Amino acid sequence: MLQTTAWARAWTIARMAGALLILIGVAAQAAKTFSGALEKHQDVATVIVNFFSFFTVLSNCGACIVLAWAAVWFWTRAKDAGPEPRGLGLALASVSTYMIVTGIVYNLLLRGIALPQGTTVWWSNEILHVVGPLFLLLDVFLGPRRRCLGWGAIGVVLIFPLAWVAYTLIRGELVVNPVTGEHWWYPYPFLNPHLGGYPSVWPYVVGIAVALGVVAAGVVWVSRRRGRAASPDDQSVGSPALASS
């Protein structure tokens, strides 16, 4: 069923709907956050950069763009039964990994933390942390025309999260918190060294890096299984050595 044109069309429509829903969720929270900053005479520029420094927001924005890309590709270029382009396959693997880990981290580490009253759009929060991640998880197994990725794709997937961690830890000490006035700002409490020093931060960084690697490996493994089942002679992404099983 997953290889039929009818299913590809149906799931492409689902991807378009998922991208739109995520876009609405991000836009609603952004509007609430930015309007609140204006009302309270906070540094709006800093608030905007802070908003787009959350891994959750970046992951959802990426997922929205890639899902829309996949939909446009299918409706405009997928005239035959060939697999998705290599770039699209890597992008889908990346945003799927980021969104799945976002859902896991939020629901395991952050779900119990009280959200700022009056500044959080609760239904947007659920879209970004639950609905979106679940949809991307389903897309790994149900998305049409999946390409067989090489194991080297795992390294590509991990580039952005590692760069984000470095950016977050460096920038955190250079920003004045527009809400509290503290001379630092971190998007998540487990990355804030002021709450327990860097020895309390590194275990979380390592743990999340491991989680990303494990999830990325799982996503790539599924792509290899599904890609080979759909097109046994298709070439994998990555070097021949890495692509061989």
Contacts of 32 (CB under 8 A, 6+ apart): 119, 120, 121, 124
At residue 236, the pLDDT reads: 44
At residue 92, the pLDDT reads: 98
At residue 235, the pLDDT reads: 43
- Could you give phi then psi for residue 237, rounded to 5 degrees? -80, 135
Domain count, the chain: 1
Domain containing 64 equals: 5-243
Which has the higher per-residue pLDDT, 1 or 167? 167
For the record, the structure tokens of 90 come out as 């890597």
For the segment 177-204, the average pLDDT, to the nearest whole number, is 93
Residue-wise pLDDT tens digits, 31-86: 999 999 999 999 999 999 999 999 999 999 999 999 999 999 999 876 566 789 99
For the segment 8-20, the average pLDDT, to the nearest whole number, is 96
The DSSP string of 162-199 is: HHHHHHHHHHHTT---TTT--S---SSGGG-GGGT-HH
The DSSP string of 221-240 is: HHHHHHHHHH-TTPPPBS-H
At residue 227, the pLDDT reads: 81
Q: Is the pLDDT of residue 157 over 80?
A: yes
